[in-house]
Amino acid sequence: MSADERSSDENPSLTLADFQELIRRMYLPKDVARGVDGTFMWLVEEIGELAGALRDGTPEEQRAEFADVLAWLTTIANVVGVDLTEAVMEKYGRGCPGCGQFVCHCSDAGKP
């Protein structure tokens, strides 16, 4: 069922692909006109707001900022033509990119 077909009283559930399509339908013309650089600056601003919410925000504020960061990241992917589901599966679908395990065994000293 698409996001358009869901009623507001149902428990909402979106796949990553559904979310990317939702953001594409809502914003793509504006996002393309703004371009990657301008859109990236909005993402950076939202990451700053998320940092503040993680420090001092309520759980509701934190959820809202996580949603904003995800939306702006998705927007950039749409502008440059990256399918996020494909990208995530390619990078993480076979386990940790560092050690190849589904429960990471990489050293804590390095980035997995």
- DSSP per-residue codes, the chain: --GGGS-TTS-----HHHHHHHHHHHHHHHHHHHHHHHHHHHHHHHHHHHHHHHHH--HHHHHHHHHHHHHHHHHHHHHHT--HHHHHHHHHTTS-TTT--SS----TTS--
Q: How many domains does the chain have?
A: 1
Domain that holds residue 77: 15-81
For residue 55, tell me if it sits in a domain: yes
pLDDT band for position 1 (cuts 50, 70, 90): very low
Q: What is the pLDDT of residue 12?
A: 79
CATH number for the domain that contains residue 32: 1.10.287.1080
Residue 58 maps to a domain: yes
Within a domain: residue 111? no
Q: Is 76 part of any domain?
A: yes
Each residue of 15-66: pLDDT tens digit?
Answer: 999 999 999 999 999 999 999 999 999 999 999 999 999 999 999 999 999 9
